[in-house]
Structure 1
Amino acid sequence: MKDLGSQIAYWDGVGATKTFTHPVNLSWLAGVDRDARILDYGCGYGRVMAELSEHGFRDVSGVDLSPALIERGRQFRSDLRFAVLESPPDLIDASGSFDVVLLFAVLTCIPDTHAQRALVRELNRVLAPGGLLYVSDMVLEDDERNHSRYAAYARQFGTPYGVFATDDGAVCRHHDIAELRALLSDFDLVDERGIEVATMNGHLSQAVQLLARNR
């Protein structure tokens, strides 16, 4: 789980068929120029990219570690710019290349704390000073089903509390909101909101969105 690419078989298989649902709060981007350089990291099949394009943003690109999801995205919207991540979390882009980076339901797919930190450092690098990082991700659930699988996985594998395996083979992580805030400690937190989303397997779950500014 220390390798960001360790679940590539899942994302190139059953994961490539999933529907992703985290909503974009466009009011958070109301002050962003329509020519701003926007990166969707972990873009999947480009759902968020397409929505931003439809709302007038003209410089939107996306990267994902799954060739199958990228191919699905290219078939979905051939006019958008997609690229496969060759050695995540590293990007080929120069420092300060982007004005906005979106990270939607990506951290939940990275169970390892060190790998999460490495990703956030890389996003800090490619964001221009004053650039925005928009995170949407899953938080700890308060029901017995989730409590049981968090505890079982932590006991068996020594993972952080909140890590679990789905029935179809993905290893995911739900977060304490304080963990996510701490992960973004090198940024200035601009806004935060709790939301409810349908997971990729159809369960209603709690999530949080955070908007942070690069220093």
Structure 2
Amino acid sequence: MPNLDSQIPYWDAAAATKTFTHPLHLPWLDGIDRHAAVLDYGCGYGRTLQELARHGFDNLRGVDASPGMIDRARLVHPALHFTVLDEPPRSPCPDASFDMVVLFAVLTCIPGEEAQHRLITELHRVLKPGGILYVSDYLLQNDERNRMRYDRCAAQYDNYGVFETADGAVFRHHPSSWFPHLLSAFEAVDSRKITVNSMGGHESTAIQYLVRK
């Protein structure tokens, strides 16, 4: 079985075709200095990093485990800085080196709970004291299509909300109670539910969390 907590071959193959949609909530960024050091972890092809640049942030770095995604990011956004993660979730960044970390639709790509905890521990390491972690990810969906997917895969993956896609990926949707547990090492600042389009074009419910180290 492939490593479900990175699935790099899938993302390399999908790098040229996938579109990501989770939005930045700009009011949450109002109090953050535009020279703050910002890391986009799991940056994909750099969409969110480019949006941050458009809103005046000028100390930006994106990292991703998929070389294919990073190749696309460098091609589309040549002025921004992108790095391939050689040993995810570990990053090459020093301790306490960022004022903000953005984690958009990354947890959905990491089905395992232990692997998610390792990632959050890594992000806690690279954040400065008082630094902000901005998480956006998918909640469990209530429609029949998704319930059938969850039911079909629950026993195999021992986790309700994990499902397989027709093009070969394994993803996870989360109960709302999971995020406060996962982010318990941080101080909660704000949260909000949003509607986004999935990579497959389906309207989905997501949640965004803003927490502080």
Which TM class, normalised by the smaller chain length?
over 0.9
Asked if the contact 2:188/2:212 (under 8 Å) is kept, the reply is yes
> 1:68 corresponds to which residue?
68
Measure how far apart 1:126 and its partner are: 0.4
- Aligned length in residues: 212
> 2:186 corresponds to which residue?
187
> 2:128 corresponds to which residue?
128
Using the alignment, how far apart are the partners of 1:171 and 1:3 within structure 2? Answer: 7
With over 3 angstroms needed to count, the CA separation of the structure-2 counterparts of 1:15 and 1:203, relative to structure 1, is: farther
Measure how far apart 1:191 and its partner are: 0.3
Measure how far apart 1:15 and its partner are: 4.5
Asked if the contact 1:3/1:115 (under 8 Å) is kept, the reply is no
The letter for the 1-side match of 2:165 is T
Asked if the contact 1:4/1:89 (under 8 Å) is kept, the reply is no
Residues 72-116 of structure 1: CA distance to partner in whole angstroms, max 9, x if unpaired?
011111000000000000011111000000000000000000000
Using the alignment, how far apart are the partners of 2:14 and 2:25 within structure 1? Answer: 28
> Structure 2 length as normaliser, TM-score?
0.97
With over 3 angstroms needed to count, the CA separation of the structure-2 counterparts of 1:154 and 1:3, relative to structure 1, is: closer
Identity of aligned residues (%): 54
Using the alignment, how far apart are the partners of 2:33 and 2:122 within structure 1? Answer: 23
The letter for the 2-side match of 1:114 is E
Using the alignment, how far apart are the partners of 2:172 and 2:15 within structure 1? Answer: 16
> 1:34 corresponds to which residue?
34
Using the alignment, how far apart are the partners of 1:50 and 1:2 within structure 2? Answer: 29
Residues 127-161 of structure 1: CA distance to partner in whole angstroms, max 9, x if unpaired?
00000000000000011211111111012x13311
- Gapped runs of 5+ residues in structure 1? none
Measure how far apart 1:168 and its partner are: 1.1
Matches within 5 A, 1:1-215: 4-5=5-6, 7-155=7-155, 157-214=156-213
Residues 143-201 of structure 1: CA distance to partner in whole angstroms, max 9, x if unpaired?
1211111111012x133110001111110000001101110000011000000000011
Using the alignment, how far apart are the partners of 1:15 and 1:154 within structure 2? Answer: 28
